[in-house]
Amino acid sequence: MTVLLGPNRYGKAETRVVRVTRDGDVHRLKDCNVSVSLSGEMEDVHLTGDNAAVLPTDSQKNTVFAFAREHGIGEIEDFALLLARHFTDSQPTIQHARVEVEEYAWERLAGHSFVRAGTEVRTAVVHSAGTGGAESVVSGLRDLVVLNSTDSEFHGYIQDEYTTLPPTNDRILATEVTARWRHRGTGADFAASFASARACLLEAFAGTYSLSLQQTLYAMGRRVLETRPELCEVRLAMPNKHHFDVDLTPFGLDNPGLVFHAADRPYGLIEGTVLTGDAPPASAAWE
């Protein structure tokens, strides 16, 4: 039997970096979580323990901090590309870099005072084979909680011997959106692109009379692609955050769609991809 080394990568995961930009009494804050994965000529370190090709993960962590100081952190896609290109261009044994960045938003209270802006997280994943090599950018967000209190139905589905869910012509539709969208290249205005894509998701969610969460998912992805020509693919994961009418008849009360129990689990999980007809192959962009 022949045993071979397969695909592999290594890196420093979840380096938390906070960058403060001080413009007199008015400060700006960037709060990020950065994960780096590198791959290349790593056969010897796996097979014989020879570390000559290995850039220590501690060095990767230090690079994140040093680049935050030297270059600042603007759009997280640009920061991720800067890091990825550095690792592949500066180390001959590193042929591919994957950098993932999560950004936690803060809202300004005063010149140098901030409050955390909810639970929503902005995300970016870049892959780079170095300057002049293949690159990809996937932007997105997670933990975006949205709810429609009406204009949602669910009926006409398969009913078998285990079905107890009654059809409904009026229900609460709530979900926690994880969305990622793939760029056609690496030269976009990432700030404008993100703001517009996020707005498209929200507009489509609010403006779609929903007969299923799948229908809403498709409408959201389609709105993004029809609005943003620099994007070619959207992937969405949307758990159905169920809200059930509470039976108040034991207390002599009716409940005409006013009081609900918000159940956290189990939940339906709806996932889907929406893409343009001319979308280039994704290769490793989503990994």
Residue 57 falls in the annotated catalytic set: yes
Residue 61 falls in the annotated catalytic set: no
Of the candidate CATH numbers 3.10.270.10, 2.115.10.20, 3.65.10.10, 3.40.980.10, the domain formed by 1-133 belongs to 3.10.270.10
Alpha-carbon Rg for the chain, nearest whole angstrom, is 23
Catalogue the E-assigned strands of 75-183.
94-110, 113-128, 135-148, 173-183
Q: What proportion of the chain, given as a percentage, has pLDDT over 70?
A: 100
Q: Annotated catalytic residue: which of 57, 93, 186, 227?
A: 57
Residues 73-86 have pLDDT tens digits of 999 999 999 999 99
Q: Where are the domains of the chain?
A: 1-133, 144-287
Mean pLDDT in residue range 27-38? 97
Q: Does residue 131 carry a pLDDT above 90?
A: no
Q: Annotated catalytic residue: which of 12, 30, 127, 241?
A: 12
pLDDT of res. 69: 98
pTM of the shown model: 0.95
Residues 184-243 have pLDDT tens digits of 999 999 999 999 999 999 999 999 999 999 999 999 999 999 999 999 999 999 999 999
Q: Annotated catalytic residue: which of 127, 183, 241, 242?
A: 242
Residues 39-65 have pLDDT tens digits of 999 999 999 999 999 999 999 999 999
First to last CA, the chain: 30
245, burial (CB in 10 Å: exposed 0-12, middle 13-18, buried 19+): middle
CATH placement of domain 144-287: 3.10.270.10
Residue 242 falls in the annotated catalytic set: yes
